[in-house]
Chain A
Amino acid sequence: DIVMTQSPDSLAVSLGERATINCKSSQSVLYSSNNKNHLAWYQQKPGQPPKLLIYWASTRESGVPDRFSGSGSGTDFTLTISSLQAEDVAVYYCQQYYSILVTFGRGTKVEIK
Chain B
Amino acid sequence: EVQLVESGGSLVQPGGSLRLSCAASGFAFRSYEMNWVRQAPGKGLEWISYISGSHSNIFYADSVKGRFTISRDNTKSSLFLQMNSLRAEDTAVYYCARVANGGNRAFDYWGQGTLVTVSS
Whole-angstrom distance between the Cβ of A109 and the nearest chain B Cβ: 11
Q: Contacting A104 at CB < 8 Å: which of B45, B59, B104?
A: B45
Asked if residues B110 and A49 are in contact (CB atoms below 8 Å), the reply is: yes
Asked if residues A40 and B106 are in contact (CB atoms below 8 Å), the reply is: yes
Report, as a range, how many residues of chain A touch the other chain: 20 to 34
**Chain B residue nearest in CB terms to A105:** B44
A34 touches B (CB below 8 Å): yes
Asked if residues A100 and B59 are in contact (CB atoms below 8 Å), the reply is: yes
Number of interface residues of B (CB under 8 A): 21
Q: How far is it, in angstroms, between the C-alpha of A107 and the C-alpha of B44 when the chains are bound?
A: 6
B50 touches A (CB below 8 Å): yes
B residues less than 8 Å from A55 (CB atoms):
100, 104, 106, 108
B residues less than 8 Å from A97 (CB atoms):
105-106
